[in-house]
């Protein structure tokens, strides 16, 4: 922060200067004939003087009173500035400069990495490695898949909104800089730009956090779904995100996307399926959203070759006569754990990987008729989610005898907390699924 600029900001917002300025302007206005001309010269001179030393003239042009820049790490200067501007009328913009990670050298040198980190060595800032071969995150698998597919498809184009590292696109951006764009914190522009690329024959992938896609909902509808353009939305942080808290949980996306005409909505059960989903999405003629969670993947082996998944077809992992658990994405592995507990009680369980939320697999109707009991598990709000979609389908087909229980998140903003704690609290762990399923089976025994 420039010393003179900081000094100027403090002085020009002081009560004495503001009072003197008003009195001088009134004096010029009182001069017959030449007053307004002199006042105009005075204002231009002031503007030129301020522009030379401070960056705030853009805001002054919009009638904001600009103050700054100010060192945001000097509490005394901030207090003095805020006291000075209390008497000002109209909108005031205070320009404060801070250093991300101030006081911790590794964070100051690499602010992007330290935007959100897990455990790390305090002396070096290096992440802690908990095994010789760490399991990759879903984000890392997505990023590597983009590189793989980018090598064979020169029309593949990656877009992010100020989150190249958070969405795993750094490797793609380094290898294919001409097919990568970070639009900054402008999610609406990211979506509309992707639509424009699709019109020109590219295969754009918008990599974005679930919570941030909400900002571009109108563009998803109007610019992508309405013209039915082949834009892929790689939705990271779908579901609960734990320590990032209520502003970052991605538990509304299933609800707000499945209602859109032309949209195909997928969620992988593991990292291998994520790769095949991205490959499938890039061969689909229309909008596709792939929703996957934050954090470590399951560590399953990855197929060498990619394959197309049949759109709208679920995967039946195991079959049993007494109950069907239909699980979405990250909940599939948890549903399998619950199924093992139920089988020890003598309950035969069908477990379904609902990898397509839209279109729904039409086989759900026959499944409901065969088992008479369904438990739907999703890391999304229950309102309008997968469970709602299944109930709508059964109602439309006149299936009224089947009992359906929905396990999902309640109609509220979910608090901050470790993932394991939150999942246990809201019944999204194996024990929670087991209890609901057991109660459903015993209710008509």
Are 149 and 282 contained in the same domain?
A: yes
Q: Which of 245, 328, 298 is nearest to 135 (CA)?
A: 298
Counting the structural domains of the chain, the total is 3
Task: With respect to residue 309, please indicate whether it lies within any of the assigned structural domains.
Answer: no
Whether the per-residue pLDDT at 61 is higher than 80: the answer is no
- Would you place residue 35 in the very low, low, confident or very high pLDDT band (cuts 50, 70, 90)? confident
Are 339 and 415 contained in the same domain?
A: yes
pLDDT for 4 equals: 46
pLDDT averaged over every residue in the chain: 91
State pLDDT tens for residues 381-434.
999 999 999 999 999 999 999 999 999 999 999 999 999 999 999 999 999 999
pLDDT for 250 equals: 96
CATH of the domain at 346: 3.40.50.920
Q: Say if residues 8 and 54 touch (Cβ distance below 8 Å).
A: yes
Residue 396: how many other CB atoms lie within 10 Å: 9
Are 154 and 273 contained in the same domain?
A: yes
Q: Say if residues 130 and 139 touch (Cβ distance below 8 Å).
A: no
Task: With respect to residue 300, please indicate whether it lies within any of the assigned structural domains.
Answer: no
215 an active-site residue?
yes
pTM: 0.81
Q: Which of 174, 115, 150 is nearest to 232 (CA)?
A: 150
Last residue of one domain, picked from the residues 275, 291, 307: 291
Q: Which of 11, 44, 100, 109 is an active site residue?
A: 100
Our CA angle for 8, 101, 241, nearest 5°, is 125
> CA 40 to CA 46: how far, in whole Å?
10
CA 210 distance to own-chain centroid = 3
Q: Which of 30, 60, 22 is nearest to 44 (CA)?
A: 60
Task: With respect to residue 199, please indicate whether it lies within any of the assigned structural domains.
Answer: yes
Domain range for residue 198? 138-291
> CA 142 to CA 271: how far, in whole Å?
8
Q: Which of 179, 187, 203, 269 is an active site residue?
A: 187
Whether the per-residue pLDDT at 121 is higher than 60: the answer is yes
State pLDDT tens for residues 253-292.
999 999 999 999 999 999 999 999 999 999 999 999 999 9
100 an active-site residue?
yes
Q: Which of 10, 155, 215, 363 is an active site residue?
A: 215
Are 143 and 287 contained in the same domain?
A: yes
Are 244 and 346 contained in the same domain?
A: no
294 an active-site residue?
no
3-state secondary structure 220-254: HHHHHHCCCCCCEEEEECCECCHHHCCCCCECCHH
């Amino acid at each position: 922060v420039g010393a003179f600029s900081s000094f100027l900001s403090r002085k020009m917002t002081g009560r004495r200067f503001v009072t003197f300025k008003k009195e001088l302007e009134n004096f010029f206005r009182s001069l017959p004939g030449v007053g307004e001309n002199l006042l105009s010269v005075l204002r231009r001179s002031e503007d030129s003087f301020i522009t030379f030393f401070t960056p705030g003239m853009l805001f002054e042009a919009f009638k904001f009173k600009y103050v700054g820049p100010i060192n945001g790490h000097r509490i005394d200067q901030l207090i003095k500035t805020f006291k000075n501007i209390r008497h000002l009328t109209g909108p005031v913009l205070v320009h404060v400069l801070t250093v991300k990670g101030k006081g911790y050298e590794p964070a100051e040198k690499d602010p992007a990495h330290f935007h959100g980190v897990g455990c790390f060595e305090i002396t070096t800032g290096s992440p802690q490695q908990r095994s010789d071969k760490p399991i990759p995150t879903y984000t890392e698998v997505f990023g590597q898949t983009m590189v793989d597919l980018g090598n064979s498809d020169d029309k593949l184009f990656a877009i992010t909104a100020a989150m190249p590292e958070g969405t795993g696109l750094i490797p793609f951006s380094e290898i294919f800089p001409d097919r990568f764009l970070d639009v900054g914190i402008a999610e609406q522009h990211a979506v509309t730009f992707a639509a424009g690329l699709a019109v020109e024959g590219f295969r754009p992938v918008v990599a974005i956090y679930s919570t941030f896609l909400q900002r571009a909902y109108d563009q998803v509808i109007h610019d992508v779904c309405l013209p039915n353009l082949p834009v892929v939305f790689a939705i990271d942080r779908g579901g609960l995100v734990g320590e990032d808290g209520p502003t970052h949980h991605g538990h509304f996306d299933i609800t707000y996307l499945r209602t859109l005409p032309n949209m195909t909505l997928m969620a992988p059960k593991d990292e291998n399926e994520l790769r095949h989903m991205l490959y499938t999405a890039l061969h689909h003629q229309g909008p596709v959203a792939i929703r996957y969670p934050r954090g470590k993947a399951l560590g399953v082996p990855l197929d060498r070759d990619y394959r197309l998944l049949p759109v709208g077809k679920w995967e039946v992992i195991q079959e049993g006569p007494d109950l069907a658990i239909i699980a979405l994405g990250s909940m599939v592995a948890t549903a399998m754990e619950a199924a093992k507990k139920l089988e020890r009680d003598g309950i035969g369980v069908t477990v379904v990987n609902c990898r397509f939320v839209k279109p729904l697999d039409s086989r759900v109707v026959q499944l409901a008729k065969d088992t008479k009991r369904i438990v739907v598990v999703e890391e999304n709000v229950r309102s309008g989610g997968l469970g709602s979609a299944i109930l709508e389908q059964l109602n439309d087909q006149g299936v009224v005898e089947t009992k359906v229980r929905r396990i999902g998140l309640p109609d509220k903003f979910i608090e901050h907390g470790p993932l394991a704690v939150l999942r246990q609290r809201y019944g999204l762990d194996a024990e929670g699924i087991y209890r609901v399923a057991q109660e459903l089976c015993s209710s008509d025994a």
